[in-house]
């Protein structure tokens, strides 16, 4: 009993100490220093070396596609004058990050790369350019990081500006999406195509009042997340559209096809009454004829339900989606989105369209520069690639080191430094441990962990014989190589020698 009582006292003492320690920890470190909150800002993240290796691989694939199509690249500052962004994003303007007024200009972080691009063209009076721009943009959105949605994220844009013959640059944008998604090997995909003019014409012939085009369009845009019944309800109950008009829209937006559908709709009694729709449909036909030559029609669908949100589109619009089958949730973290949203939102991996009016908004005389472009949804692609890497047995290498210079014996630091210098000077990617006398085992373990394929081992005997013992990490095979031949031998055995 006494022991029990003593035990309880001991326990309560321990509790008190723990509470005090917790308090102390909250107040500061042992030396009374202020304790930092060790985190990144909400909705942002660091990229660790493994994520960077994946990111680099994805960027390389995308950039070489852009380069294959003859694109130049530009860069713009991360912040713009606040007024440059004003009036470009409608309701989403509230998501723009403003900088604090510290005297001087009022600045905001860029929200996308398209508006800075248009500002750049107008400011430099450029009327022709094919450029890509890969950079981070900023939105004070509700982050859903488990689904690859961040407040700081990459955009990866390719745009063609200039007055050209119809649909040729537009078709090349789709060719580029096709090439990138194929090469990234993300599984099957489809590219949906529509035209702002077809949407507007369709609304007109279905009896939607002019002033309701935009709001009805944004309801149609929800068709990939909501069943038609709910979309219709929103149109009729919330937006005051007549039931009849809604039903007519419903008929059109269920249509999908190719050039044939465009041809049929050009003959459609109702649709053919809209000049706008006919212009759009003729262009869709022309577009498909070019897509045939580009050999990409197997993935492209003319889909009348596609209605991208952004106001500035004036012609063709498109969006690429991954087929659901191949795509699992993009993170190992718990899903916190509404059920069902996941499977949809992860699907869209590229989008874009024609925006012939945006540059003119920046030109003092309103001179227009027609533009068409595509944005690759790179963050979603990163998420998928990271997940694939996680699932795969193959290790992601975070360095490209070809050979580790090691020794089995003591007091050979100088010899190791001499040899690694020879390798570096010959352009070989090489490493040496920063220890005077590292253990051979720890040197070999480092190679295993980092995926370094070769070890150049020095010992007294090797030095005397003028050789280096070259060890293949994977097979543990060892062979003496004449020192003069080492560089050639390393190059021969590692394909990526440079």
Residue numbers belonging to the annotated binding site:
112-114, 139, 155, 159, 308, 312-313
Check residue 425 for interaction with a copy of itself (CB under 8 A).
yes
Q: Say whether residue 29 binds a copy of itself (CB under 8 A).
A: yes
C-alpha separations of 167 from 163, 298, 308, 353 in Å: 11, 18, 19, 11
Give least dist CB 425 to a copy of itself, A. 7
Shortest Å distance, C-beta 414 to a copy of itself: 6
Residue 351: strand pairing partners: 319, 375
Inter-residue contact 192 to 306 (CB < 8 Å): yes
Annotated binding site for L-histidine: 112-114, 139, 155, 159, 308, 312-313
Question: Considering the rule CB under 8 A, would residue 227 count as an interface residue with a copy of itself?
Answer: no
Beta-strand ranges (E) seen in 304-367 are: 316-322, 348-354
Q: Which residues within the stretch 164-223 sit at the binding site for a copy of itself (CB under 8 A)?
A: 164-165, 168-169, 172, 175, 179
Tell me how far, at minimum, the Cβ of 159 lies from a copy of itself, in Å. 13
**143 contacts a copy of itself (rule: CB under 8 A):** no
Binding test (CB under 8 A) with a copy of itself, winner from 69, 233, 270, 483:
69
Closer Cβ to a copy of itself, 55 or 212, answer by number: 55
Q: Binding residue for a copy of itself (CB under 8 A) from 58, 113, 115, 122? A: 122
Q: Where are the alpha helices (DSSP H) in 268-377?
A: 275-293, 341-345, 358-362
Cα Rg for the chain, rounded, in angstroms? 30
Considering the rule CB under 8 A, would residue 59 count as an interface residue with a copy of itself? Answer: no
The residue among 105 and 244 lying less far from a copy of itself, judged by its C-beta, is 105
Q: How far apart are CA 137 and CA 141, in angstroms?
A: 12
List 2, 5, 33, 393, residue binding a copy of itself (CB under 8 A): 33
Q: Does 448 bind a copy of itself (CB under 8 A)?
A: no
Angle at which helix 275-293 crosses helix 168-184, to 10 degrees, equals 50
How far apart CA 64 and CA 180 sit, in angstroms, is: 9
Among 4, 237, 295, 392, binds a copy of itself (CB under 8 A): 295
Measure Cα distances from 296 to 7, 77, 168 in Å.
Answer: 77, 36, 14
Is residue 400 a contact point for a copy of itself (CB under 8 A)? yes
According to DSSP, the β-strands at 316-322 and 256-257 are unpaired
Binding mask 84-103 for a copy of itself (x = CB under 8 A): x------------xxxxxx-
Give me the least distance between CB of 477 and a copy of itself, in Å please: 23
Question: Is residue 307 a contact partner of residue 199, using CB atoms and an 8 Å limit?
Answer: yes
Q: Is 212 helix (H, G, I), strand (E, B) or coil?
A: helix
């Amino acid at each position: 009993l006494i022991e029990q009582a003593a035990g309880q006292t001991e326990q309560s003492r321990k509790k008190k100490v723990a509470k005090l320690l917790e308090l102390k920890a909250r107040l500061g470190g042992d030396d009374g220093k202020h304790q930092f909150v060790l985190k990144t800002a909400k909705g942002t993240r660091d990229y660790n070396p493994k994520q960077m290796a994946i990111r680099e691989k994805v960027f390389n694939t995308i950039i070489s596609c852009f380069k294959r199509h003859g694109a130049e690249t530009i860069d713009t500052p991360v912040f713009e004058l606040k007024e440059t962004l004003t009036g470009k994003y409608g309701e989403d303007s509230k998501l723009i990050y403003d900088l604090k007024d510290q005297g001087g200009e009022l600045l905001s972080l860029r929200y996308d790369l398209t508006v800075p691009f248009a500002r750049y063209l107008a400011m430099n009076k450029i009327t022709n350019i094919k450029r890509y721009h890969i950079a981070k943009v900023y939105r004070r959105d509700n982050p859903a990081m488990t689904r690859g949605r961040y407040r700081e994220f990459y955009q990866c844009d390719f745009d063609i500006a200039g007055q050209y013959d119809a649909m040729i640059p537009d078709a090349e944008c789709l060719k580029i999406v096709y090439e990138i998604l194929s090469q990234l090997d993300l599984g099957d995909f489809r590219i949906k195509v529509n035209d702002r003019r077809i949407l507007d014409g369709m609304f007109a012939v279905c009896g939607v009042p002019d002033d309701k085009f935009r709001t009805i369009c944004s309801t149609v845009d929800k068709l990939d997340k909501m069943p038609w019944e709910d979309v219709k309800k929103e149109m009729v109950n919330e937006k005051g559209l007549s039931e009849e008009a809604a039903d007519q829209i419903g008929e059109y937006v269920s249509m999908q096809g190719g050039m044939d559908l465009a041809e049929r709709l050009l003959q459609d009694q109702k649709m053919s009454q809209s000049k706008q729709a006919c212009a759009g449909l003729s262009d869709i036909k022309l577009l498909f004829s070019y897509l045939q030559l580009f050999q990409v029609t197997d993935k492209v669908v003319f889909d009348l339900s596609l209605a991208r949100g952004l106001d500035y589109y004036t012609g063709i619009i498109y969006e690429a989606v991954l087929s659901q089958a191949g795509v699992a949730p993009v993170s190992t973290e718990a899903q916190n989105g509404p059920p069902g949203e996941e499977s949809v939102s992860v699907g869209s991996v590229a989008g874009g369209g024609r925006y012939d009016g945006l540059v003119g908004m920046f030109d003092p005389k309103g001179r227009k520069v027609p533009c068409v472009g595509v944005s690759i949804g790179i963050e979603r692609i990163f998420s998928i690639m990271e997940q694939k890497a996680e699932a795969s047995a193959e290790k992601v290498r975070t360095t490209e080191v070809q050979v580790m210079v090691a020794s089995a014996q003591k007091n050979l630091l100088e010899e190791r430094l001499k040899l690694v210098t020879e390798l570096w000077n010959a352009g070989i990617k090489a490493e040496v441990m920063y220890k005077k006398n590292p253990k051979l085992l720890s040197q070999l373990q480092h190679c295993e962990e980092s995926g370094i394929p070769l070890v150049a081992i020095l010992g007294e005997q090797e030095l005397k014989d003028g050789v280096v013992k070259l060890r293949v990490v994977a097979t543990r095979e060892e062979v003496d190589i004449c020192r003069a031949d080492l560089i050639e031998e390393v190059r021969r055995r590692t394909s990526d020698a440079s």
